[in-house]
Chain A
Amino acid sequence: MELQNIVRGEPVSLPEMLNAREHRVYFQQELLKKYGCTLISFTLNIAGPVKVFPLAVRTFEEGENLIRSYCKTMGIRLENCLEHRDKTGFEAFFPAACEPEKVKRCMVMLEENSTLGRLFDIDVIRTDGRKVSRQELGYAERKCMICSRPAFECSRSRRHSVSDLQTAAVGIMSDYFADRYAGRIAQTACRALLYEVHATPKPGLVDSDNNGSHADMDVFTFESSALSILPYFKAFTACGINNAEKPGREVMELIRPIGVEAEIEMRRATNNVNTHKGAIFSFGIFCAALGILYGRSMPYSREKLSALCAGIAGDVPEELNRENASEKEEGTAGEICWKKYHIGGIREEAAKGYPAVFNIALPAFCSRAARGFPLNDAGILTLVDLMAVTEDTNIIHRSSEKELRKIQEQMKQLSADHVEEKNYRKVLKELDRKFAEQKISPGGSADLLAITYFLYFIEEGISPNKI
């Protein structure tokens, strides 16, 4: 986003700034008198005439929270928190019942540790009104955020332009929040994969009871796999954030290499077993789409997310024709099924914006969770819904298209019989036994169940922009 669209707010004049500074010092003196203890005074260090804009407010609030957390951890008791929210820049004051040097050390640690720290001005004032300086405690003076010369030198000589300083500050702030968002999306994706594999019983799939139709993997293989790909979920999201204005198809080309790397890491973690290849594909698209939402500052909605997924994956089914023409010897289950039956599988589902998830699985799952079903049970019941509609190429690949149609009918029947009101666990356990005998594994539906858990958790955390 352009700088002038981010640093948007009421400009302040020099006299207003000078008045505000004097008032701040008077107020500090009043607080020192009233509380008779050390005082922490917190402001942001933002160059230019506009001091208050949404990103700065968020940074200020983050700073207040960090001060509280650091003090709590270091055993510094804060007596109060007083705020001034004026256009000359927000200010917070914390009277602290602790010796000033200890408080200053703690605040320097915060300023140095947090990536936002460079934007924080945290003064620690003794009861006699004198500030504790960094120098007297043996710390280095603060560095300029652009060239790492001593900060006062650059500011006194106006070495850098206001717009360069604003760009640097806005960069630090946006990177911090984007990084945290991407990290939390990645955690949530990983959490969803763990919930999916632990949901029990699942017909033919690895779960907490057994390995279903699989001889080469168990629940631990899946856990190892899920953890190994967490950093790539973060990378997919960051890629979406950084390329939010590009067309979806271009974003697909940018996330593809991340997916390739994720698969290499997955195979390393699982001793070359394919646990999450399909999941990497879909989670890659969803993470990138959530990144785009963030990058465009759009509030979350299912409709928008679905449309973004469709935009990203729009060209993917086309590739099957190209891959078909090149007559690759070995392919994925999805590629082979396309050759044999012209079933597009997950690629078509993705290109359509995941209708099975948004129209069927997610509403059904959320409704069950709201009615008090445990997340495990809401999950296994939603797997039935997904198996009824999914063109699961894992099933076709390991048995046949005819078998897939039979299973879809069977699942539709279970739903029609209101299995969720009956002994569904027993029914699914019995199916698990049958599937394992016939080596049927609905891996494609399992991936979509993981996505369903993922979106449930995302929505639970309210809008992803608030994560």
Chain B
Amino acid sequence: MEIKKPAIAGTVESSDCLVSVEPGDGKIDFSLESSVANQFGHQIRKVTFETLERLGVDNVKISIVDKGALDCTIKARIEGAVYRSADQYKDLPWGGAIQ
């Protein structure tokens, strides 16, 4: 999928994360701010890259503000942001495209 315009999904409530995406400059540009970065930073990065790969996204600036979200929540929020950037707002398949 192609990231056409900036989009966000999620919240900074506890156990959630706020994912922002915007068109990249030819690669995946990942930034993370997390309350559990020390313990889970690596895992969050892994989940992010896996999710983007399965969505076929390879050109994106993605930033995640994480408040202790579980992997399934992170996946779903990334999907949400990506779909919104492709102008799909309703019936977002939270967690649906990637099982």
Q: Which residues of A contact B (CB under 8 A)?
A: 14-15, 18-19, 21-22, 24-25, 121, 123, 131, 151-153, 155-158
The distance from the CB of B47 to the nearest CB of chain A, in whole angstroms, is 12
Chain B residues with Cβ below 8 Å from A158 are 70
Contact between chains at B11 and A21 (CB < 8 Å): yes
Q: Which residues of B contact A (CB under 8 A)?
A: 9-16, 35-36, 39-40, 67-70, 72-73, 76-77, 80, 92-96
Contact between chains at B9 and A152 (CB < 8 Å): no
Chain A residues with Cβ below 8 Å from B92 are 15, 19
Chain B residues with Cβ below 8 Å from A123 are 13
CA distance A14 to B70 in the complex (A): 11
Chain A residues with Cβ below 8 Å from B16 are 18, 21
The distance from the CB of A155 to the nearest CB of chain B, in whole angstroms, is 6
Contact between chains at A14 and B36 (CB < 8 Å): no
CA distance A131 to B15 in the complex (A): 15
Chain A residues with Cβ below 8 Å from B93 are 15
CA distance A134 to B92 in the complex (A): 34
Contact between chains at B36 and A15 (CB < 8 Å): no
Chain A residues with Cβ below 8 Å from B72 are 14
The distance from the CB of B21 to the nearest CB of chain A, in whole angstroms, is 16
CA distance A152 to B69 in the complex (A): 9
Known contacts A18-B95, A123-B13, then 18 further A-B pairs from the complex at CB < 8 Å, ordered by chain A residue:
A14-B73, A14-B94, A15-B95, A18-B10, A18-B16, A18-B76, A18-B77, A22-B9, A22-B11, A25-B11, A25-B13, A151-B14, A152-B35, A152-B36, A153-B39, A155-B14, A156-B15, A156-B70
Interchain CB contact (< 8 A) of B15 among A22, A25, A155, A157? A155
Chain B residues with Cβ below 8 Å from A15 are 76, 92-96
Contact between chains at B13 and A21 (CB < 8 Å): yes
Contact between chains at A156 and B73 (CB < 8 Å): no
The distance from the CB of A27 to the nearest CB of chain B, in whole angstroms, is 11
> At the interface, is chain A mostly helix, strand, loop or mixed?
helix
Contact between chains at A155 and B68 (CB < 8 Å): yes
CA distance A129 to B14 in the complex (A): 15
The distance from the CB of A74 to the nearest CB of chain B, in whole angstroms, is 24
CA distance A276 to B70 in the complex (A): 59
CA distance A451 to B36 in the complex (A): 59
The distance from the CB of A440 to the nearest CB of chain B, in whole angstroms, is 70
Interchain CB contact (< 8 A) of A24 among B13, B15, B36, B95? B13
CA distance A14 to B39 in the complex (A): 24
Contact between chains at B68 and A152 (CB < 8 Å): yes
14 contacts between A and B (CB under 8 A): A14-B72, A14-B73, A14-B76, A15-B76, A18-B10, A18-B73, A21-B11, A25-B11, A152-B35, A152-B36, A155-B15, A156-B36, A156-B68, A158-B70
Chain A residues with Cβ below 8 Å from B35 are 152
CA distance A14 to B36 in the complex (A): 21
Chain B residues with Cβ below 8 Å from A155 are 14-15, 68, 70
Residue in chain B with minimal CB distance to A15:
B94
Contact between chains at A156 and B39 (CB < 8 Å): yes
Contact between chains at B96 and A152 (CB < 8 Å): no
Chain A residues with Cβ below 8 Å from B96 are 15
Residue in chain A with minimal CB distance to B77:
A18
CA distance A158 to B76 in the complex (A): 18
CA distance A15 to B39 in the complex (A): 26
Residue of B11, B73, B80, B92 contacting most chain A CB atoms (<10 Å) = B11
Chain B residues with Cβ below 8 Å from A121 are 14
Chain B residues with Cβ below 8 Å from A24 are 11, 13
CA distance A123 to B67 in the complex (A): 14
The distance from the CB of B81 to the nearest CB of chain A, in whole angstroms, is 11
Interchain CB contact (< 8 A) of A19 among B12, B14, B94? B94
The distance from the CB of A257 to the nearest CB of chain B, in whole angstroms, is 46
Residue in chain A with minimal CB distance to B95:
A14
The distance from the CB of B85 to the nearest CB of chain A, in whole angstroms, is 16
Given contacts A153-B39, A156-B39, A156-B40, contact A22 B10 (CB under 8 A): yes
Chain B residues with Cβ below 8 Å from A14 are 72-73, 76, 94-95
The distance from the CB of A10 to the nearest CB of chain B, in whole angstroms, is 18
The distance from the CB of A44 to the nearest CB of chain B, in whole angstroms, is 13
The 8 closest A-B pairs by CB, nearest first: A15-B94, A152-B68, A156-B68, A25-B11, A21-B11, A18-B94, A156-B36, A21-B13
Chain B residues with Cβ below 8 Å from A25 are 11, 13
Given contacts A14-B73, A15-B94, contact A152 B13 (CB under 8 A): no
Contact between chains at A152 and B94 (CB < 8 Å): no
Residue in chain B with minimal CB distance to A43:
B13
CA distance A281 to B84 in the complex (A): 70
